[in-house]
Structure 1
Amino acid sequence: MRRYPLLFLVIWLLIGSPHPSEAQATQETVFTLENMYQLVLQNHPIAKQANLLSENAQMNIRMARGYFDPKAISNFNGKEFKDKNYYQLWDSHLKVPLWIGQLKVGYERNTGINLNPQSDTNSGKGLAYVGVEIPILKGLLFDERRAALRKAQAMQSEAEAKQVSLINKLILQIAKDYWNWFFTYHQFQLADEGYKLANFRYKAVVDQMRLGALAALDTVEAKITIQQREINLKNAKLAFENAGLILSNHLWDESGNAVVLGETLIPISDINQNLQIEPFEDIIKLANQHPDLRVLNAKYQQLDIERKLNAEMLKPELTFNYNFLDQSAFSDNSLSDLMIDNSFTQNYKAGVSFSVPLFLRKERGKLGMTKVKLEKVRLEQQNLQQQIVTKVGAMYNTMNNFKEVLVMQESMVNNYEQLLSGELQKFNAGESSVFYVNVREGKLLEAQSKLFKIRAELAKSVAELKWAAGLGITL
């Protein structure tokens, strides 16, 4: 258990040092904030949930790429009546979506006595074909497939930013709970030392009273001090135990079971290694990559993709399709032979389709709505950026204020130590009383407790500053 040298010096000056067996400490292990972070990021449900966001975004990209998956299609229709084959229509083909348009490869065979002449396939022998379908106006530069893929990629950026934001919030809460545990532990240590000091002093006062050196009233004063500090000790112990339970809320094992903080684990004694922070100007620059801003940036990208698609929909639809027909698909003729024979210009099926809405009200309405959404997100970005700058500035000021107050409180503790030391000298010279010694000692304990409180608040302010700037942790 940690000991406070100055308080034992008080005992030494008053009645001599305690027995060595009473000063033995329980074996304890320091549990740092970095240890806490490592355990949390490995096993905490929220950390695992955050990882699912990225996995879900990857599945969205896979789904969007599905728009470019080839598709095998086979159609058959036939009619037979009174032993007559009216018609049999069979068409099997493979569609391969391209970045622009699509490729179509297939085989068609139609037979029957009532077959439509335009469906003739080389007198029933069948025709193989290879063709393309290309948009000339609408869909040439952008279409639903490309938009879906681009939006899925932007959604992945959004998911990654949300993942960082979720982890940062968790890290902030853990830091607050850890530093509260830090404060309650040292407050409990001070209360324990104060209670032991009061006990030692009470025994010494009783001995001095029996020798006639002190009045009986001094023993009453010493007894009251014991009672007060015992109450403080119980309250401090309760606060420390509860703080440990709250901190345990963040601890999970690999199997997903909650873990309770071990009784032999104690927080660090010095916060200096947790106060490393960049200059204000650098923090503001880093805040431009705040995860919440990145979420809005990703949303803006998605809406901009939607705007681009809606603008593309304003164009007339003009589609060209060409299918090369090969009546000798299974012959030994090569592609070069077919080209020499001008088969591409003689055996083909081609067409052009054109359509355009006369008023384009639906398309213009969608485009207008998307522009409104874009402006809304842009204003949200502007507002959030200002909020981040303001919050970072406020937390930076708070941190600096705690640093200044900490220096003042450390000086105050030193002054209280000098006052107590002087009061003890007066007491030993018979110029003071137990009451004044208790008052000086109580003030010192209060000042030391407040010192740890300020240290904890300073560490919390650093954690809040990093969270406000969107900075993660480095393990």
Structure 2
Amino acid sequence: MVSLLIITQLKLQKVMKRLSSLVLLLMLAGLVQFARAQDTLKLSHQEFIAVVKKYHPLAFRYRLQNQIAKAEVQGARGNFDPVLAAKNGLKTINGTEYYKESTVELDIPTWYGISFNGSYNYLEGQKLNNSQTPGGLYQFGITLPLAKNLLYDKRRALLEQARFATQLTEAEQILLTNDLMLEAENTYWELVKAHEVLNLQNKAVKINEDRLSLIKKTYQYGEKAAIDTTEALSQLQSFQVKQKDAYLEFVKANQQLVLFLWQENQQPYDISQLIIPKESLTDNAAYQNYLSLIKEIDDLSLSNHASILMYSSKLNILESERRLKFQSLLPKIDLTYNFLNKENYASNFLPLFQNNYQYGLKLEIPIFLRQARADYRIAKFKIRQNQLDTDYKKQEINTKINSYKYLVVNYNQQISLAFQNTSNYQRLLQAEQTKYNNGESSLFLINARETKLIEVQEKLLELRLKFLRGYNQLKWTKENFRM
């Protein structure tokens, strides 16, 4: 019986040596893995946000869109540019010079639809028409619309619409940039959470390594049963698996963060090291600032939100289109008057319609106006659609803001409860450890308490991350308002 006990004890010692070798191999593998991870970069939240805002290609693209809109305004102004023209012509057949003509003209359009023009024309030849005036002739004239295009015309509409389009683009750029920044900021806090979960698992592994070492020593002294070493090793391996999984999640979070890191010339960073965040989920100013942020947003007017400003700019564009379409309902009556003066002749400007002048009156009236009436009705319907879209957008923004406020307040309350729960589980684990040291508990119960503590700690981190996401939603919603 004694010999059988000795043989059994020797077998257990061999098993324990093998288990110890396995633990050593796992520890060495972990050390190698984390030694590689020591080549890391530390990045603060403020530095990260500054890099994204300044160098991210999407943010740069949105700024370029503003420049495009401003260039379109410049192009629309070109419709009011003065036009200088010159012409020189000659016709001769069988030695007969029909005509020889040189002309210089200047046309000056104005904002109010009136056009001024002036020209100098020199004409000579043997086959001129009776209506043509030989010699040098000066001409100064004006073209005045009396109905259609008097109060509004296509040139004015294009310029106004380009200006409103610039405002629309600026509002859209605000929304798109802030959406990008919100996504980037949430990605950063995802990295922070993954890093803190990894630290939790690293700590758990270290505690269990020390516990296994202690239990092995107490077993060797005959104070603990062999099964306790197996229990300790099993718990250690369980945490090592979770440690590997946490490390993998941390690497994934790094890869997501790197997508937002770009250099000054919009080239991606080639980052081979792991990025370690400087901030933590626990020490964050959001927990103190969220109430004041909610109050600031409550004091803002929805009409100043970038989304509503977009619809307001679109309304201005549609209203400009409606005014232009209304002009098509009016008859086209254009008056043209030109003062004429022969070269080397005395100038007599007055009276205007007595001598040395040319005038014309042109009238156009579509009989049924079907196209004009249809276009005008469509323009009015589009304005109504835009108003409905604006009303819906206001309600949508208001609902989202209320939802974000509720989330932040609710998660803050859950964090308080989860923190207290974590403290309770910490005390339970300490009490169980004390009972175990006094021989009143088992390693199994300690492991159960420890596993539960890690779970509630991870749950607390998840709640903190959700709180910060809601806070970020509110913060970047506030940035969408034009102060």
Is the contact between residue 466 and residue 472 of structure 1 (CA under 8 Å) also seen in structure 2?
Answer: no
Distance 1:470 1:358 in 2: 54
Distance in 2 (alpha carbons) for counterparts of 1:442 and 1:305: 67
Which of 124, 139, 161 is the matching residue for 1:111?
A: 124
Structural RMSD (CA) = 2.7
2:58 corresponding residue in structure 1: 46
- Following superposition, the deviation at residue 328 of structure 1 comes to 3.8
Quote the residue 1:263 is aligned against: 274
Q: Is the 8 A contact 2:41 2:273 kept in 1?
A: no
Structure 2, unaligned stretches of length 5 or more? 1-30
Q: Which moved more, 1:179-188 or 1:268-277?
A: 268-277
Query: What residue is the counterpart of 1:131 in the other structure?
Result: 141
Question: What CA distance in whole angstroms lies between the structure 2 residues aligned with 1:385 and 1:353?
Answer: 49
C-alpha displacement at 1:327, in angstroms? 2.4
Kindly, what percent of the aligned residue pairs are identical? 28
State the one-letter code of the partner of 2:333: L
Q: Does residue 60 of structure 1 match 2:72?
A: yes
SS in 1 for 2:188: helix
CA contact (8 A) 1:192 1:233 kept: yes
Alignment equivalent of 1:227, drawn from 220, 237, 240: 237
Q: How many angstroms apart in 1 are the aligned matches of 2:39 and 2:124?
A: 93
1:167 partnered with 2:182: no
Cα separation, 2, equivalents of 1:285 and 1:35? 29
For the pair 1:91 / 2:138, whether they are aligned, the reply is no
2:332 paired with 1:317: yes
Alignment of 1:6-45 (within 5 A): 30-45=42-57
Q: Please say if 1:449 is aligned against 2:435.
A: no
Q: CA deviation at 1:283?
A: 4.0
CA positional deviation for 1:180 = 1.3
* Whole-angstrom distance in 1 between the partners of 2:92 and 2:198: 96
Note the alpha carbon deviations across 1:351-402, whole angstroms, 9 max, x for none: 2222221221111111111111111111111112111111221222112111
Contact 1:128 1:326 (8 Å CA) reproduced: yes
Between 1:317-326 and 1:408-417, the stretch displaced more is 317-326
Tell me if the contact between 1:143 and 1:312 (Cα under 8 Å) persists in the aligned partners: yes
- What aligned pairs does 1:182-261 form with structure 2 within 5 A after superposition? 182-259=192-269, 260=271
CA contact (8 A) 2:102 2:121 kept: yes
Residue 159 of structure 2 corresponds to 149
Instruction: Give TM-score scaled by structure 2 length.
Output: 0.85
Amino acid at match of 1:351: G
Q: TM-score, normalised by structure 1?
A: 0.87
Q: Which residue of 1 aligns with 2:419?
A: 410
Q: What is the 5 A alignment of 1:331-346? A: 346=355
The amino acid of 2:368's aligned partner reads F
Report the Cα distance in structure 2 between the residues aligned to 1:345 and 1:265, rounded to whole angstroms: 90
Task: State the distance in 2 between where 1:261 and 1:352 align.
Answer: 78
- Seen in structure 2, the aligned counterparts of structure 1 residues 133 and 197 have a Cα distance that, compared at 3 Å, is same
Q: Which runs of 5+ in 1 are unaligned?
A: 1-21
The answer (yes or no) to whether the contact 2:318–2:379 under 8 Å persists in 1 is yes
After alignment, is 93-102 or 435-444 more displaced? 435-444
Matched residues in 1 for 2:398 and 2:441: separation? 56
Is the 8 Å Cα contact of residues 297 and 478 (structure 2) preserved in structure 1? Answer: no
**1:127-157 CA-partner distances (Å, limit 9, x unpaired):** 1122111112111111111101000001101
Q: Answer with 183-192 or 295-304: which moved more.
A: 295-304
SS state of the match for residue 451, structure 2? helix
Number of corresponding residues? 443
What does residue 22 of structure 2 align with? Answer: none
Q: What is the rounded CA distance, in whole Å, between the counterparts of 1:62 and 1:217 in structure 2?
A: 84
Q: In the alignment, does 2:398 pair up with 1:383?
A: no
